[in-house]
């Protein structure tokens, strides 16, 4: 299967400790963070990875090359100006040849069973399947809500009420038909496309995953991931 790995962000919040490379290429015990992400993809049978790159994207290509040394085939979709998550997926579309594909963030490590998304998409005839995660204080985020069947009923919903809840985990399985609906240019998958598809009545669903999660967007998280790798938690 194919996956689009979103690696085009500027990583401004991490610049104080990682200033010479794209955020997903930040070194963790001598290896770029993104290697840990691609290792997980390969382990779950994903053979083709399209890197959606922007800022210093050539550094990503110089490291992974054709992907052969890492167990996958690599392609690179460069963006001239920041396109947002949806625009980056659209830009990578010319390399997508299968009827469904994964999309995930290159600066986030989330241990999940990727095949579970495929099974749910098939069993419930979904247009898109996504992974949610539970957090202790959902008021800090936009809430994502599943009903008892695992069908998405709310996404990026703001709430002022503190308490545990579920939010977007940032891993998606999309049918190719949705790719055709993403416009050219800068567009957000999370803020524009997914809420729009939900409002249109597209079949979106998913599950809540409790596996290890880390977004290295801030220095504290970056240092924590290094510690977790050293401690053998990854």
Three-state SS letters, the chain: CEEEEEECCCCHHHCCCCCCCCHHHCEECCEEHHHHHHHHHHHCCCCEEEEEECCCHHHHHHHHCCCHHHCCEEEEEECCCCCHHHHHHHHHHHHCCCCEEEEEECCEEECCCHHHHHHHHHHHCCCEEEEEEEECCHHHCCEEEECCCCEEEEEEECCCCCCCEEEEEEEEEEEHHHHCCCCCCCCCHHHHHHHHHHHHCCCEEEEECCCCEEECCCHHHHHHHHHHHHCCCC
Q: What is the pLDDT along the chain (234 residues), one digit of tens a residue?
A: 999 999 986 656 676 676 667 889 999 999 999 999 999 999 999 999 999 998 888 999 999 999 999 999 999 999 989 999 999 999 999 999 999 999 999 999 999 999 999 999 999 999 999 999 999 998 888 899 999 999 999 998 888 878 899 999 999 999 999 999 999 999 999 999 999 999 999 999 999 999 999 999 889 999 999 999 999 998
Residue range 2-230, CATH number: 3.90.550.10
Structure tokens at 199: 């409002």
- Give the end-to-end CA distance of the chain in Å, rounded to a whole number: 24
- Does this model's pTM top 0.85? My answer is yes
- The runs of H, that is alpha helices, within the chain are 33-43, 57-64, 84-92, 114-124, 176-179, 194-200, 219-230
Structure tokens at 94: 């010319």
């Amino acid at each position: 299967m194919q996956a689009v790995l979103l690696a085009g962000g500027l990583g401004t919040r991490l610049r104080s400790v990682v200033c010479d490379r794209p955020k997903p290429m930040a070194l963790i015990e001598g290896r770029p963070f993104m290697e840990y992400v691609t290792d997980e993809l390969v382990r779950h049978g994903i053979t083709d990875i399209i890197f959606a790159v922007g800022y210093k994207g050539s550094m990503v290509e110089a490291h992974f090359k054709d992907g052969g040394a890492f167990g996958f085939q690599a392609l690179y979709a460069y963006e001239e100006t920041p396109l947002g998550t949806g625009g980056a997926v659209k830009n990578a579309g010319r390399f997508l040849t299968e009827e469904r594909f994964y999309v995930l963030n290159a600066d986030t490590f989330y241990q999940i069973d990727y095949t579970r998304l495929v099974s749910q998409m098939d069993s419930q005839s979904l247009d898109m399947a996504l992974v949610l995660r539970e957090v202790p204080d959902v008021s800090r985020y936009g809430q994502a809500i599943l009903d008892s069947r695992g069908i998405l009923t709310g996404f990026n919903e703001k709430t002022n009420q503190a308490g545990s809840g579920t939010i977007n985990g940032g891993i998606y399985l999309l049918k190719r038909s949705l790719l055709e609906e993403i416009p050219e240019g800068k567009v957000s998958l999370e803020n524009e496309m997914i809420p729009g598809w939900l409002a249109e009545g597209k079949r979106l669903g998913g599950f809540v995953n409790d596996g290890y999660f880390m977004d290295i967007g801030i220095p504290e998280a970056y240092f924590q991931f290094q510690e977790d790798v050293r401690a053998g938690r990854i």
